[in-house]
């Protein structure tokens, strides 16, 4: 599952874009070598969801153009001759594979540009244009956004230690005004409170406008949805057809967080949450034994409590309208920390 930055860099690489710097070129070249060696499939699924929501005010023609441009980029990876690329560093189609695509999608053209709109429509348009799925995605992002706002406020306004700040964050998540315990967000909060994240992760400085900070927080909230996509796709799978996906992100904080947990169980019943485990040893090395123990004991407690409560009583997160009020109040508090 590619994030938006990776897909954009792939497009620039294939187009030989002169604005692409050398480190980015090397990065994408190594990524393509990984895809070719491991025989990985790649998907723009997350990119489509994110871009559709962020560009919802664009006209349909522009939305379609973005979707088809992304499809063309993905198809260049799908149809790339891996042996030629690995041996000659040259991106060229595997024409035998291309012929199979032409038969499958009933086209006669040898041009990927002509295949892209048909491939997109058959594989993604129905899912991406499902208003329920899009709204569910937006709702998940909204919960993460509010949690990140609170995380920032705790860190910037409290002089307490990391464990105390973490307990304050737990209390917020469990309070009736929010009422959704988010383990991944708790994990990143522990690293944020410990100042143990890449420098660019949600920086807030007195010379930054709130709008700039807000965009960064929203972007990070979407990154958390990307991290949840593998289990979401498993939930939508069937006994005959299930997708096992892996996150591919250029964001270092996402990479760090993604390596620190494992999905242990996913239920096909949407009301029963996934069970994840944390890598205690790695967290302990990064943040210390006390913080690692606090996180892992809280996760065990939540896994046990949520499974029982959800099966017996159902989910009762805060209502959307109440969440919007909470978000507005927290935004006003964060705005004070920004350039006026």
SS3 state at 239: coil
Average pLDDT over residues 23-48: 92
Tokens coding 21: 């710097």
Residue 187 Cα distances to 1, 75, 104, 279, 292, angstroms: 22, 36, 44, 11, 9
The Cα 249–Cα 227 span in angstroms is 9
Residues with Cβ within 8 Å of 231's Cβ and at least 6 positions away in sequence, in order, are 263, 266, 274
Q: Is the pTM of this model over 0.85?
A: yes
Tokens coding 5: 């930055």
pLDDT one-digit tens code per residue, 183-198: 899 999 999 999 888 6
Per the CB < 8 A criterion, the answer to whether 57 and 110 are in contact is no
Q: How many Cα atoms sit within 13 Å of 244 on the Cβ side? A: 4
Per the CB < 8 A criterion, the answer to whether 221 and 53 are in contact is no
Whole-number pLDDT of residue 269: 61
pLDDT one-digit tens code per residue, 154-164: 999 998 999 99
Residue 328 Cα distances to 147, 220, 276, angstroms: 12, 18, 31
Whole-number pLDDT of residue 311: 44
The Cα 195–Cα 201 span in angstroms is 10
Average pLDDT over residues 86-92: 92
Burial class (CB in 10 A: 0-12, 13-18, 19+), 236: middle
Tokens coding 229: 């996509």
pLDDT one-digit tens code per residue, 288-329: 999 999 999 988 888 777 655 544 444 455 678 888 999 999
The Cα 262–Cα 280 span in angstroms is 11
* DSSP β-bridge partners for residue 93: 80
The Cα 212–Cα 175 span in angstroms is 29
Average pLDDT over residues 121-132: 78
Whole-number pLDDT of residue 303: 75
pLDDT one-digit tens code per residue, 220-256: 999 999 998 888 877 765 556 677 889 999 888 888 8
Does residue 272 register a pLDDT over 60? Answer: no
- Within the chain, residue ranges assigned H as helices are 4-15, 22-38, 45-54, 60-78, 82-88, 95-105, 112-120, 126-128, 131-157, 162-174, 183-193, 210-235, 252-258, 280-287, 289-313, 320-335
């Amino acid at each position: 599952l590619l994030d938006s930055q990776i897909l954009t860099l792939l497009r620039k690489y294939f187009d030989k874009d002169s604005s692409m710097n050398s480190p980015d070129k090397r990065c994408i070249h190594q990524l393509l070598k990984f895809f070719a060696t491991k025989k990985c499939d790649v998907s723009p699924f997350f990119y489509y969801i994110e871009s559709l929501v962020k560009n919802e005010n664009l006209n349909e023609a522009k939305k379609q153009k973005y979707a088809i441009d992304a499809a063309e980029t993905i198809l260049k990876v799908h149809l790339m001759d891996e042996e030629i690329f690995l041996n000659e560093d040259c991106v060229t189609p595997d024409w035998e594979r291309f012929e199979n695509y032409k038969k499958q999608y009933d086209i006669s053209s040898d041009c990927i540009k002509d295949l892209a709109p048909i491939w997109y429509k058959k594989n993604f348009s129905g899912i991406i244009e499902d208003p329920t799925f899009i709204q569910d995605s937006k709702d998940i992002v909204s919960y993460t956004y509010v949690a990140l706002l609170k995380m920032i406020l705790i860190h910037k306004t409290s002089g307490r230690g990391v464990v105390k700040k973490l307990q304050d964050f737990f209390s917020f998540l469990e309070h009736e005004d929010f009422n959704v315990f988010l383990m991944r967000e708790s994990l990143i909060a522990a690293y944020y409170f410990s100042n143990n994240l890449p420098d660019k992760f949600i920086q807030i400085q007195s010379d930054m406008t709130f709008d700039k900070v807000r965009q960064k927080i929203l972007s990070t909230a979407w990154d958390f949805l990307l991290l949840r996509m593998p289990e979401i796709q498993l939930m939508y799978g069937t006994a005959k057809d299930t997708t096992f996906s892996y996150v591919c992100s250029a964001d270092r904080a996402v990479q760090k967080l993604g390596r620190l947990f494992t999905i242990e169980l996913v239920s096909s019943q949407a009301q029963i949450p996934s069970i994840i485990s944390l890598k205690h040893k790695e967290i302990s090395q990064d943040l210390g034994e006390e913080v690692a123990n606090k996180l892992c004991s809280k996760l065990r407690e939540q896994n046990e409590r949520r499974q029982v409560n959800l099966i017996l009583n159902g989910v009762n997160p805060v209502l959307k309208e109440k969440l919007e009020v909470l978000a507005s109040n927290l935004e006003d508090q964060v705005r004070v920390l920004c350039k006026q």
